[in-house]
């Protein structure tokens, strides 16, 4: 149990240090989906707008919900695909410390799980 808890603490410390030294920037990119063409955001918003119109105009709302869902999924995919992750410049000592804490934590967690399994 001690191995597991100390491993968990080291893992959380390593994860904290890594996330503190990481920059996440965003853009909008669907280039892989449209063969290298990034459509304007308004063009992707068009199915959502048409879907909302159809929700209010028609009694059968299935097509409206499909258009809204497809438009929102495409917009969300574009936002997620546009994320760019950069590591901040750090010293070698800090880099080794970050990843050593993470690795030691994983090792101690595994040891703790094996010890509790064998009891």
**pLDDT tens-digit map of 83-93:** 888 999 999 99
On the 0-12 / 13-18 / 19+ scale of CB atoms within 10 A, 78 is buried
Euclidean distance between the first and final Cα of the chain, in Å? 11
Asked if residue 59 lies in contact with residue 53, where contact means CB atoms within 8 angstroms, the answer is no
Residue 66's contacts (CB-CB under 8 Å, 6 or more residues apart) are 51
Residues 100, 70 share a domain: no
- Domain of 102 in residue numbering reads as 1-26+88-119
pLDDT of 22 reads 92
Q: Which residue has the tokens 């030294």?
A: 21
99-109 average pLDDT score: 95
Query: 113 in helix, strand or coil?
Result: helix
Asked if residue 109 lies in contact with residue 4, where contact means CB atoms within 8 angstroms, the answer is yes
- Per-residue pLDDT of 23-82, as tens digits, reads 988 777 776 666 767 777 788 899 999 999 999 998 888 999 999 999 999 888 888 888
Residues 50, 9 share a domain: no
Does the pTM surpass 0.75? The reply is no
Residues 60, 22 share a domain: no
Q: Give dist(CA 119, CA 114) in Å, integer.
A: 9
pLDDT of 34 reads 64
Between residues 15 and 36, which one has the greater pLDDT? 15
Q: Which residue has the tokens 């869902």?
A: 69
Residues 36, 14 share a domain: no
Q: Which of 17-21, 83-87, 101-105 has the lowest mean pLDDT?
A: 83-87
């Amino acid at each position: 149990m001690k191995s597991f808890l100390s491993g968990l603490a080291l893992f959380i410390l390593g994860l904290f240090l890594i996330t503190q030294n990481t920059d996440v920037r965003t853009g909008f990119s669907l280039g892989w989906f449209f063969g290298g063409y990034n459509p304007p955001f308004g063009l992707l918003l068009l199915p959502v707008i048409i879907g909302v119109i159809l929700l209010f105009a028609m009694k059968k709302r299935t097509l409206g919900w499909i258009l809204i869902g497809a438009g929102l999924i495409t917009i969300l995919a574009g936002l997620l695909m546009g994320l760019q992750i950069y590591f901040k410049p750090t010293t070698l000592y800090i880099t080794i410390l970050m990843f050593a804490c993470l690795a030691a934590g994983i090792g101690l967690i595994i040891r703790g799980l094996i010890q509790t399994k064998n009891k």
